[in-house]
């Protein structure tokens, strides 16, 4: 899962340990650098997350920052 949010307070995640090994929170600028240097550090990034980060995530994040997230809604689109 990818959660993009602007919480007004600390967010506590209650995840299923059988499904989620790790959670990380990033500022927008930190994420791209982390993904781009993950292999050098030995961090694993799933292929689907790399694709979403490179093609959609920053667009969504910018839209959230600009209060235009509704422009990103694609209810009839399946990204493959």
Q: What is the pLDDT of residues 6-48, one digit of tens each?
A: 888 888 889 899 988 888 888 888 999 999 999 999 988 889 8
- Whether the model clears a pTM of 0.75, i.e. scores above it, the answer is no
CA 54 to chain centroid = 10
Q: What is the pLDDT of residues 44-68, one digit of tens each?
A: 888 988 999 999 998 998 998 899 9
Q: Which residue has the tokens 């007004």?
A: 8
- 3-state helix/strand/coil string of 65-80: HCCCHHHHCCCCCCCC
pLDDT(1) > 80: no
Rg of the Cα trace of the chain?
A: 14
């Amino acid at each position: 899962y990818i959660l993009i949010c602007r919480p007004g307070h600390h967010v506590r995640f209650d995840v299923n340990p059988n499904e989620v090994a790790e959670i990380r929170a990033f500022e927008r600028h930190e994420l791209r650098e982390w993904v781009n240097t993950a292999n050098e550090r030995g961090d694993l990034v799933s292929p689907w997350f790399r694709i979403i980060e490179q093609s959609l995530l920053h667009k969504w994040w910018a839209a959230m920052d600009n209060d235009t997230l509704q422009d990103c809604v694609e209810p009839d689109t399946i990204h493959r």
